[in-house]
Amino acid sequence: MATNCPACKENTLEIREYGVCCKQYLPKKADKEYYNSGVCNFRINFEQKAFDKKLSVNDIRTLIDGGEIKNKKGDIMKMIQDPSPNDDYFTDIEWKTKNYKDF
């Protein structure tokens, strides 16, 4: 069974080579820039350099279902809905607190 897009709620999600996105996320290239020619911007890329982890399909499903995932350092990633009128979603990282010694 296909998963409905949490952003537009009108389409389903699909797995592409770079991540999971709404079927209405349709990137096009103009000159050197990419833009979305579709009506929905929802996507989560597999490669998460800032989080230092390549996400799996199961990781992304966990995020979409409201869960959170951890990397090897103990940082936590979760998906958050933007309170703006666009109802955009984004991933948020809670960095593990580092304990430094006094000098």
List pLDDT tens digits, range 15-65.
Answer: 999 999 999 999 999 888 989 999 999 999 999 999 999 999 999 999 999
The whole-chain average pLDDT of the chain stands at 89
**Which has more pLDDT, 33 or 81?**
33
pLDDT above 90: residue 91:
no
Global pTM value = 0.80
pLDDT at 102: 83
End-to-end CA distance of the chain: 57
